[in-house]
Amino acid sequence: MQAVQGSDQDSVMAEVAATPIVATDAERGSEIIVTADQSLLNAIERFEPSSVAVGCRNGGCGLCRVQLLAGSVRLGKMSRRFVSIEMERERFALACRVYPQTNITYRLSPIEPRIPGNAY
Radius of gyration of the chain (CA): 16
**pLDDT tens digits for range 42-72:** 999 999 888 888 899 999 999 999 999 999 9
Paired with 21 in beta bridges are: 34
The whole-model pTM stands at 0.77
**pLDDT tens digits for range 4-38:** 455 555 554 455 556 789 999 999 999 999 998 89
Residue 83 within a domain: yes
Residue 116 confidence class, pLDDT cut points 50, 70, 90 = low
Residue 15 within a domain: no
Instruction: List Cα–Cα distances, 120 to 63, 70, 96, 114, in angstroms.
Output: 13, 29, 21, 7
Residue 2 within a domain: no
Number of domains in the chain: 1
Domain enclosing residue 96, as ranges: 20-108
Q: How far apart are CA 102 and CA 70, in angstroms?
A: 9
CATH of the domain at 95: 3.10.20.30
